[in-house]
Structure 1
Amino acid sequence: MESVFRHYAANESLYTATVSPVCEKYGLTYMEFTVLMFLANNPQFDTASDIVKYRHLTKSHVSMSVRSLEDKGLLTGEHHKPNRRTIHLTVLDAADAIVAAGRKAQQAFGKILFSGFSDSEYEQFTAFMKRIDQNIADHIDLTQKK
């Protein structure tokens, strides 16, 4: 089990190193980059609560990053009827170059991770990850029902 945690830490370090040049080029913090890319890659999840839930980030970090991205003209937030309390976030066209560079960096990260994998090995890995995700979801459901 220790190797899983070591793998996770190495994975996170590699990802950070891969996307850091994009952050530096566009003057973004890592957290701002993370929020922006989450919204760009997952348009169906467009609230700060979604970011907190699915990326497991703190509310305060997400809130500060959203505010900063709005100040930089990269994001906008608006209320949709009928729930006027929820702010829906939209990535603006001004972020297009950043998003493109971010996606390119994310693809480079994926290429590094799966270098030397055959198609069948990649498919097998994906199947294992889906099973792990389902195990996690099932466990969370069980613990929340107690």
Structure 2
Amino acid sequence: MYFWDKHKTITSYYELLSSRICDQYGLTQMEYDILMFLHNNPQHNTAAEIVKIRKSTKSHVSTSLKKLENKGFIERIQSEDNKKHIEIVLLDKAELIVEAGINVQKQFAQNVLSGLTEEETHMCIKVFNKICNNAEEYLRKYKERNERE
């Protein structure tokens, strides 16, 4: 499928850019992605939210969080009110990785949007959001249908 193949090309390019950071700090792509996700989405700071929003598997997220914690990049803080609610906080040690990651994300966006006008960029974002929303809706319907069966 054309869209899927092109999506893989974009993802591969992003992973190529971020691989330097992963190599430098001994991170897997998943670990790096989680650090950047937590930085870019501080309001979604639980393992469950990472799994839900990033569409990752629980086991991969859990393993990556454990490694990040062992490396001193994150801390898990258990809620006093709800023992099952554990927030994930970036630690100062992750700051250099996040700064490098922000630069990679800026370079990535600049490169993949190169040659597009501001209007074309906004149109791409609008169309991409519609595609993602459609996929989300069909995933939700599929899940609901399977839960009834």
Instruction: Give the structure 2 partner of residue 124 of structure 1.
Output: 123
Tell me how many residue pairs correspond in the alignment.
145
The equivalent of 1:39 in structure 2 is: 38
- Code of the residue aligned with 1:65 in structure 2: it is S
Q: Which amino acid in structure 2 is aligned with residue 121 of structure 1?
A: E
Structure 1 pair 56–145 and aligned structure 2 pair: CA distance change class (3 A) = closer
| Cα offsets for 1:2-46 (capped at 9, x unmatched) | 210110111111011010001111121111111111111110111
The worse-fitting range, judged by mean Cα deviation, of 46-55 and 127-136 is 127-136
Aligned to 1:59: 58
Give matches, 1:64-143, under 5 Å: 64-143=63-142
- Where structure 1 has 5 or more consecutive residues not aligned to the other structure, the ranges are none
Q: Name structure 2 gaps, 5 residues minimum.
A: none
Secondary structure class of the residue paired with 1:45:
coil
**Partner SS state of residue 116, structure 2:** coil
TM-score (norm 1): 0.92
Query: What is the aligned partner in structure 2 of residue 23 from structure 1?
Result: 22
Q: Percent identity of the aligned residues?
A: 35
Question: Which moves more between the two structures, 57-66 or 90-99?
Answer: 57-66
The structure whose RCO (Cα within 8 Å, separation 6+) is larger is 1
Tell me the C-alpha RMSD between the 2 structures.
1.3
Secondary structure of the residue aligned to 2:63 is: helix
- The TM-score, its normalising length taken from structure 2, stands at 0.90
In structure 2, the residue corresponding to 1:36 is in which secondary structure?
A: helix
Deviation at 1:140, TM superposition (A): 3.1
- 1:91-126 deviation digits (Å, cap 9, x = unpaired): 011111110001111111111110100001001111
Q: Which runs of 4+ in 1 moved over 4 A?
A: none
**Secondary structure, in 3 states, of the residue corresponding to 2:88?**
strand
